[in-house]
Structure 1
């Protein structure tokens, strides 16, 4: 699929489409069943090398990505359940509801995860706040399709309808995208910056916006865990800007005569 926005931005990295499907693409990269992996490392393979990646309910990488991709939630069952994750996302052992149980889970984890479990990732100020985020704030979906696919937008065919279009851009390109979105949306809160995992910022939070008559874009890669994972693959200065399909089509229409024709953009970019 050709995109007027991509043509104007000329991004160094691929613009990516997230699709749901019951058909597995041939030759796609897929995680090993049951293996823990941050799927943003695979996202980076799509962005930098134009690969196609596929996930299913046995190969989603980690509990956060199960929620992010729309395969339901593993927070209640993996690694001791909600109480473990609530402590993990806050101050670790210090915040654990059952410290003996939490310590046992930590001691059985690999060295890398063990340290984070003990100290906590500290994405939330307290176990209570983290618990609320897991059980109430994070949009959760369990779609009927078997697969979730990440592929370059340029390879999307006419009969495919992505759920999320993800731009991986530098600050100047991001500025143009946010201006473009603001130029067509009513109101002033055109882009959301949710607290969550990077995979959720290209998936579940975008799925939530799909339900709106006036959907917003989702700014992503504001996740230190994902940043650490992809640091040797993606530049530190890039962010993701994910939009629901409906918003993408509206942005494409405006792209022809909108901000990309402004002297401001032309002076900055050319």
Structure 2
């Protein structure tokens, strides 16, 4: 699939698409079943090198990706459940409801997770706020298809309809996309930049926006944990700008004679 927006942006990073399917693509990157990893490390290979990645309910990498990719939620079942995650996402050991139980979770965790579990990721100021986020605010979907596929937008076929189209952009390219979106939307709140994991910013939050009367793009890759896993592949000044399929088509139409053919944009090139 050719994208007029992508041709105007001229990004060094591939725009990508997230799709659901019951057919596994051949020669795709996929985590090993039961092995912990950040799915963004595989998605970074799609973004930077044009690979294809696939995930399912046995190969989802980490609990955050279960929600991020629309396969339900693991925050109530994995690694001790909600009590663990509310402490993990806030202040770690010092914020645990049951310090002894939480310490047992730390002791059983893989070595690379123990320090983060002990100190906490500190993405939320309190365990109560953390629990409210993953229980009430993060949109949860459980689509029936077996696989979630991430591949370059250029490889999307005519019969396919992605759930999410993701542009990976530097500040100038992001400015162009925000201007393009603002040119067709009323009001000032043209985009959203939610708290969460980077995979959720191109998945779950985009699924939610697809259901809105006025869907908004989701600004992402602001997840510091994902940054740590992708910094050797994706430059630190890049962010994601993810849109539902129908909004992508609307933006593509405006890109024909909108901001990208203006003297201001052309001069900046």
Distance 1:150 1:37 in 2: 16
Distance 1:40 1:88 in 2: 20
Q: How far has the Cα of 1:249 moved from its partner?
A: 0.2
Aligned partner of residue 192 in structure 1, secondary structure: coil
2:203 aligns with: 203
Aligned partner of residue 150 in structure 2, secondary structure: strand
The answer to whether 1:133 aligns with 2:133 is: yes
1:117 aligns with: 117
The answer to whether 1:68 aligns with 2:68 is: yes
Aligned partner of residue 242 in structure 2, secondary structure: strand
Aligned partner of residue 241 in structure 1, secondary structure: strand
2:178 aligns with: 178
- State which drifts further: 138-147 or 25-34: 25-34
2:262 aligns with: 262
Distance 2:156 2:175 in 1: 25
Distance 2:186 2:13 in 1: 30
Distance 1:35 1:261 in 2: 47
1:74-153 alignment runs, 5 A limit: 74-153=74-153
1:219-238 alignment runs, 5 A limit: 219-238=219-238
Q: How far has the Cα of 1:219 moved from its partner?
A: 0.3
The answer to whether 1:157 aligns with 2:157 is: yes
Distance 2:58 2:227 in 1: 24
Q: How far has the Cα of 1:134 moved from its partner?
A: 1.0
2:55 aligns with: 55
Distance 1:106 1:134 in 2: 21
User: With structure 1 as the length reference, what TM-score do the two structures score?
Assistant: 0.99
Distance 1:232 1:28 in 2: 21
Distance 1:39 1:110 in 2: 17
- State which drifts further: 138-147 or 103-112: 103-112
Aligned partner of residue 184 in structure 1, secondary structure: coil
Q: Which runs of no fewer than 5 residues in structure 2 stay unpaired?
A: none
CA RMSD in angstroms comes to 0.6
For residues 58-78 of structure 1, the C-alpha deviation after alignment (integer angstroms, 9 at most, x for no partner) is 011100000000000000010
Aligned partner of residue 183 in structure 2, secondary structure: helix
Distance 1:213 1:47 in 2: 30
1:253 aligns with: 253
Distance 1:24 1:185 in 2: 37
Q: How far has the Cα of 1:111 moved from its partner?
A: 2.4
Q: How far has the Cα of 1:110 moved from its partner?
A: 2.2
> 4+ residue stretches of structure 1 with deviation over 2 A?
none
Q: Which runs of no fewer than 5 residues in structure 1 stay unpaired?
A: none
User: With structure 2 as the length reference, what TM-score do the two structures score?
Assistant: 0.99
2:167 aligns with: 167
Aligned partner of residue 167 in structure 1, secondary structure: strand
